[in-house]
Amino acid sequence: MRLLVLGGTRFVGRAVVEEALSRGHDVTALHRGVTGRLPDDVRPLDADRTDPGALRAALGDGEWDAVVDTWAGAPRVAALAAGLLRGRVGAAAYVSSRSVYRWPVAPGADERAPVVDADPRAGATHYAADKRGGELAWQEALPSALLLRPGLVVGPYEDLGRLPWWLDRIARGGEVLAPGRPQRWLQLVDARDLAAFALDRAANGGLYDVGSLPGHASTEELLEACVDATGAESELVWVDEEDLLAAGVEPWTQLPCWVPSTGELAGLMEGDTSAAHAAGLVCRPVEETVSDTWAWLQREGRPAPRADRPPVGLPRDLEQRVLGAALAH
Ligand SMILES: NC(=O)c1ccc[n+]([C@@H]2O[C@H](COP(=O)([O-])OP(=O)(O)OC[C@H]3O[C@@H](n4cnc5c(N)ncnc54)[C@H](OP(=O)(O)O)[C@@H]3O)[C@@H](O)[C@H]2O)c1
């Protein structure tokens, strides 16, 4: 298959490139050459895709069997590429996000949940509208485009630092604040499984929420996998979510991967992803994701923090205060 990846050097796009190469596909990737390197076997196209002339010139008269796009900025930039590629690609997959829904989304909701308003010709406004606008842009150009809406994406090369933060914190050892109920199910997907699903399903199109099923990985299994992978002398100290919230701990950003089981974001860990699984999504064991992510961090170090996203992680003094109160009970 001749595959065009728009992007492809950071995290999800990079996983798509690697998965495609492992399948023997002929891979072209378009980026500016700013944030990463492409494997030698990939044909690079250099362009700033926000510049219509540069994008048109880089794409030339190329034709591909499929294109995968991970764009998260202004919808009109996705629309520009989608419009230029109309009639020149057999299939398209756009990596969107469950952020496109109107939150709060009820636990158990599926792809029919209401989405935010968006305009495929708009400039960048906010993440949800940008991703929804990207979906509309691809659908306008290719009505059969595959739209994938992951919630929490983890795995090697994660550049938001969520799982890397947990690994680094647990590697430091000692008592580690662990959030909420140990048995609470997490909903996540390894970028490599998301990439495989995108390539498997691109020709079929459709719309899928993408994430693991209940029973795949509990909070405890994720954090214990971090203890095992790092070999750290760490003890998880479980603190009720009410106590965390009362202490001012910010879910999701300060304690990555954790959202309270009630409130605005509760549905983030409890979406109905059965359609994706029926269509062939396979989520690898969380232990494999964790150990491969740790191996990557050991091998290549931490990527530079992304300027376009808030930093993640719990300040040490806040963790000490919450742990002190929890252990005093
Ligand atoms: N992480 C999560 O938990 C999560 C959850 C849900 C959805 N998602 C979605 O998953 C996607 C992940 O994307 P990713 O960053 O991992 O994709 P990626 O394709 O690996 O990286 C982004 C690519 O875009 C290129 N790029 C950036 N600006 C460009 C420009 N102006 N012109 C041309 N190329 C440009 C970058 O290369 P250069 O800088 O070299 O140009 C890079 O190759 C995001 O869209 C996000 O919305 C993530």
Longest dimension (CA), the chain: 69
CB 3 within 8 A of CB 64: yes
**70-105 core/surface letters (b: 16 or more CB in 10 A; e: else):** bbbbbbbbbbbbbebbeeebebbbbbbbbbbbeeeb
Q: Is the CB of 192 under 6 A from ligand 1?
A: no
For the chain, the straight-line distance linking the first and the last C-alpha, in angstroms and rounded, comes to 61
Tell me the three state secondary structure of residue 127: helix
pLDDT-based confidence at 45, cuts 50/70/90?
A: very high
Ligand 1 pocket member 234 (CB < 6 A): no
Share of the chain above pLDDT 90, in %: 94
Is any ligand 1 atom within 6 A of the Cβ of residue 156? no
How many percent of the chain have pLDDT more than 70? 100
Q: Write out pLDDT tens, residues 196-219.
A: 999 999 999 999 999 999 999 999
Return the ligand 1 atom nearest residue 9 CA.
43
What whole-number distance in Å separates Cα of residue 192 and Cα of residue 190?
A: 5
| Residue-level pLDDT at 308 | 81
pLDDT at 190: 99
Residue 311: pLDDT over 90? no
The mean pLDDT of 9-30, rounded to a whole number, is 98
* CA–CA–CA angle 188, 193, 196 (5° rounding): 150
Strand 152-154 and strand 188-190: pairing?
A: parallel
Place of tokens 């498997």: 200
The angle that helices 75-85 and 127-141 make with each other, rounded to 10 degrees, is 10
Region of residue 321 (left: phi > 0; alpha: psi -120 to 50; beta: else): alpha
Protein residue with least CA distance to atom 6, ligand 1: 97
Q: Is the CB of 307 under 6 A from ligand 1?
A: no
Q: What is the pLDDT of residue 36?
A: 86
306 lines ligand 1 (CB under 6 A): no
Is pLDDT of 281 > 90? yes
Mean pLDDT over residues 287-293, rounded? Answer: 98
| Per-residue model confidence as pLDDT tens digits over 127-162 | 999 999 999 999 999 999 999 999 999 999 999 999
Q: What is the pLDDT of residue 264?
A: 87
Question: Which of residues 259 and 310 earns the better pLDDT score?
Answer: 259
Nearest C-alpha to atom 1 of ligand 1 is from which residue? 153
Question: Please, what is the Cα angle at 291 between 178 and 164, to 5 degrees?
Answer: 55
Task: Specify the ligand 1 atom closest to the Cα of 36.
Answer: 40
Mean pLDDT for 185-205 is 98
Long-range pairs for 299-303: beta carbons < 8 A, 24 or more residues apart: 302/161, 302/164, 303/10, 303/157, 303/159, 303/161
Give me ligand 1 centre to Cα 301, in Å. Answer: 19
CA of 70 relative to ligand 1 center, distance in Å: 5
Cβ count within 10 A of residue 240:
12
As a whole number, the mean pLDDT across the chain is 96
- pLDDT tier, 54 (very low <50, low <70, confident <90, very high otherwise): very high
| 72 C-alpha to ligand 1 centroid (Å) | 7
Distance CA 306, CA 128 (A): 18
Rounded to whole angstroms, the Cα distance separating 30 from 46 reads 6
Instruction: Identify whether the C-beta of residue 186 lies closer than 8 Å to the C-beta of residue 257.
Output: yes
The DSSP element (H or E) to which 328 belongs, if any, is helix 316-328
- Across residues 59-87, what is the average pLDDT? 98
Q: What is the pTM of this model?
A: 0.98
pLDDT attached to residue 29 = 98
